[in-house]
Every structure is written in structure tokens, then in C-alpha cells.
Amino acid sequence: MSDFLPWLHAHYIRPQLDAAPKRDYAFHFDLIRSDLPPAGRESLDKVLEFTAIQAFLLGLRTGEGLSRL
């Protein structure tokens, strides 16, 4: 399953997150990305991938079904 999770993140979770409206958070995303060197952006992407996968798995374990916002 561990090989499947990065694929799921790349093909389902990440596109969903990218499409979500950032509203009040857009400034913060842009600020961090613009201040990081390229290696730092790679590390940030890996941390965000890990966090998104863990949040997805938590949703599966708890069976929490949220309606579309």
C-alpha cells in the first residue's frame, strides 16, 4: 500500500488540493514558496505530501464524510 499512497497523492489528492480555493491562505503559500530556495521547495512539497496522505488516511480510518464546501 505504501507504493500506492504517493501515486494517489499525485493523481487525486494533490489535484484536489490545488483546485481548492485558497482565499485567506494564498498570501501565506506565496510568501513561503517565494522565500525558499529550490531545495527548500522540494522539502516543502515532500512535507505537504506526507501531511496530505496522513490526513487522507485519517479520514478513511474515522469514516468522516464531509459534504462539498
Question: Alpha carbon of 33 to those of 7, 41, 54, 59: distances in Å?
Answer: 23, 6, 22, 27
Each residue of 8-61: pLDDT tens digit? 999 999 999 999 999 999 999 999 999 999 999 999 999 999 999 999 988 888
Do the beta carbons of residue 17 and residue 56 sit within 8 Å?
no
Cα–Cα distance between 27 and 64 in angstroms, integer?
Answer: 29
Residues listed for the chain: 69
Q: Report pLDDT for 1.
A: 58
Q: What residues contact 8, with CB distance under 8 A and at least 6 apart?
A: 53, 56
